[in-house]
Amino acid sequence: MTMKNNPIILVINDDGISSKGILFLSSLMSNLGEVFVIAPDSDRSGLSHSMTLNHPISIQPVDKDKNKYMCSGTPVDCVKLGVNKILPRLPDLCVSGINHGSNHSINGLYSGTLHGAMEATIQGIPSISFSHLSYDDSVDLTAYSSLITKICLNTIKYNLPEGITLNINFPNINFDQIKGVKLCNPSKGKWHEEFNIIKKQNNKSYYKISGKFTSVNKNIETDSWALHNNFISIVPTAINYSSDLTINELKYLENVF
């Protein structure tokens, strides 16, 4: 299959339209094709596959840039509106992120970053979710430019197996310490939540949720092992949970590093 002359690329996230991760990713994608950025107007982290059903959703151009929009809804809303109301045709690729924080192991279940990309997969668009394990949004992502570009070009060229979204996580180390790319299964993990009471008012108790995440990183086939051992993890995530993931079909991705 040959590369499309001028691919259309949809860029979304869950951290919001002003996130440094989406600014970096959209700038990088502008070298590959015509880019449409549609992102929430503020942070929508942890919303998974939620969508807005009970009140109107607003969407508006940003800085008079007709290809950049902010939306009052969720990452899934951004994809649905983009496909149905904004883009001239179905895009050739959807990229989500770059998320500031981990979306490996069970974190993918909660992630608006990943599930925005999965909604694009449902719509028939080859889709990739990118996350960096550091929660510090000042992390310099420039070193990842060539790698991300190669992954995206390969995805546009070869597409992906039907119903598969790539969930890609970068370890929180210097780029020159990364050993390579590893196709993985998601590891087992658990959040140990803390519910800290903020106030009590009118017979209501208000809590703020925090916690610590732990995962099992002893299985060499999992994303937690890969990230713990300085590899970039790629998990082929199925929208059909009963699918048999065919990692062998995507082995070419391990050669991009």
221 residue type, one letter: E
Of 25-34, 47-56, 126-135, give the lowest mean pLDDT range: 47-56
Position with higher pLDDT, 254 vs 84: 84
Cα separation, 220 vs 235, whole angstroms = 13
pLDDT for the residue numbered 217: 76
* 54, burial (CB in 10 Å: exposed 0-12, middle 13-18, buried 19+): exposed
pLDDT for the residue numbered 50: 85
**Measuring CA to CA, which residue among 189, 190, 194 is closest to residue 210?**
194
pLDDT for the residue numbered 1: 39
The mean of the pLDDT values for the chain is 89
What is the reported pTM? 0.89
pLDDT for the residue numbered 118: 97
Secondary structure E strands in 15-124: 34-40, 59-62, 65-71, 93-100
- Determine the average pLDDT of the residues in 138-147: 94
pLDDT for the residue numbered 142: 96
- Determine the average pLDDT of the residues in 135-158: 94
One CATH from 3.40.630.30, 3.90.550.10, 3.40.1210.10, 3.30.70.100 for 8-185+216-255: 3.40.1210.10
User: What spatial distance separates the first Cα and last Cα of the chain, rounded to whole Å?
Assistant: 22
Q: The tokens of 69 are what?
A: 């929009």
